[in-house]
Amino acid sequence: MSQQRAFKVRVVEVIAETPDARSIVVEPEVADASHFGYRPGQFLTLNIPTDREGGAARCYSLSSSPSLDERLKITVKRTEGGYGSNWVCDHLGVDDVIEVLAPSGTFTPRSLDVDFLLFAAGSGITPVMSILKTALHEGSGKVALVYANRDEQSVIFRDELVALEKAYDDRLQVIHLLESVQGLPRARTLEQLAGMWADRHVFMCGPEPFMDAVTAAVSEAGVTPDRVHHEKFLSLGSDPFADSVVELDDAGPTSTVEVTLDGATTTLAWPRSNKLLDVLLAAGLEAPYSCREGNCSACACIVLEGDLEMERNEVLEAEDIAEGIVLGCQAVPLSDRLRITYDQ
């Protein structure tokens, strides 16, 4: 049996952002603080209490900025008929303690000193807000945010965005698209907006039809794919908080992997038909993961030497892969020796 490291955090504030969205500010225990450094755009995985078989772990992006906000804040919008989001909005209160996994994810800018074109719809503003605030505070470039919502009432962070536009009037431009005013965002509108800033780095997050429309618009506007980044919001299908029993298939050829995790380097045999994450868990290492389905990037690590392939990848983009980033939960080896790190 093996398990990755989970942490308890205490809720210190609950903010009603809109009628259906709440921000939850949390604080880890002092001894765990070093595990909670994060980059803008990353997320926490919450262990939502449930009697349901398979648990109810859910990922929520950090809307706080690592360089501005002392505490970590997630922002959760109710999904109609959804279990986790409604539980958070209805039940999580100040002084409650909830179990989480350390921050993770690859939806984060490589550099903050570039110009950004951000697209968000509804709760998709959460990771985008963290990127926006951090880029304005730490970076030197310009930022344009195209933000789509149902109506004015449902605009999360409306006042904060107004204040930021005032404070950074030469660097920040916010364009609101409201369904109640203009209808759903039209392809032509999105293309025109993308065309105004086609030389920028694009980060987008929102419901699937919005992401599809924005992806088509930025491609039409000539933004090169290496500058386009997506975050997909999905519910996890498995429970990363449960004990996991990993049985390796050690028939057939075996590679050797030297893996660095939490400052320690371990050399392991890697039977080639097994995924890296399973090999590490079977060896008792506390490797990170959430979905185990190639959907969320919580298990991302970097290949320093050797070749491998991923059976499934719904989240890493061409630029990530070019930098050697792989999903541990999907990686199987191709070469005899590999060196991998989780610590960069």
Binding positions for ligand FAD, rule: CB under 6 A: 43, 58-61, 75-77, 79-86, 105, 123, 126, 231, 233-235, 296
Smallest separation (angstroms) from ligand FAD to the CB of 290: 8
Residues 6+ apart with CB under 8 A from 336: 255, 256, 306
- The terminus-to-terminus CA distance of the chain in angstroms comes to 27
Measured from the Cβ of residue 32, the count of other Cβ atoms closer than 10 Å reads 15
Closer by beta carbon to ligand FAD, 9 or else 308? 9
Residue reference for tokens 């149902």: 150
Residue pair 280/258 in contact by the 8 Å Cβ criterion: no
Smallest separation (angstroms) from ligand FAD to the CB of 206: 11
Beta strands in the chain, from DSSP E residues, in sequence order:
7-18, 21-28, 43-47, 57-61, 72-77, 97-104, 116-121, 143-149, 172-178, 201-205, 228-231, 254-261, 264-271, 300-305, 308-310, 325-327, 331-333, 337-341
Smallest separation (angstroms) from ligand FAD to the CB of 104: 9
Tokens describing residue 149? 């919502």
Q: What are the residues facing 342 on neighbouring strands?
A: none
Closer by beta carbon to ligand FAD, 83 or else 168? 83
Closer by beta carbon to ligand FAD, 65 or else 274? 65
Smallest separation (angstroms) from ligand FAD to the CB of 85: 3
Smallest separation (angstroms) from ligand FAD to the CB of 164: 19
Residue number of the CB closest to ligand FAD reads: 82
Closer by beta carbon to ligand FAD, 142 or else 158? 158
Closer by beta carbon to ligand FAD, 4 or else 126? 126
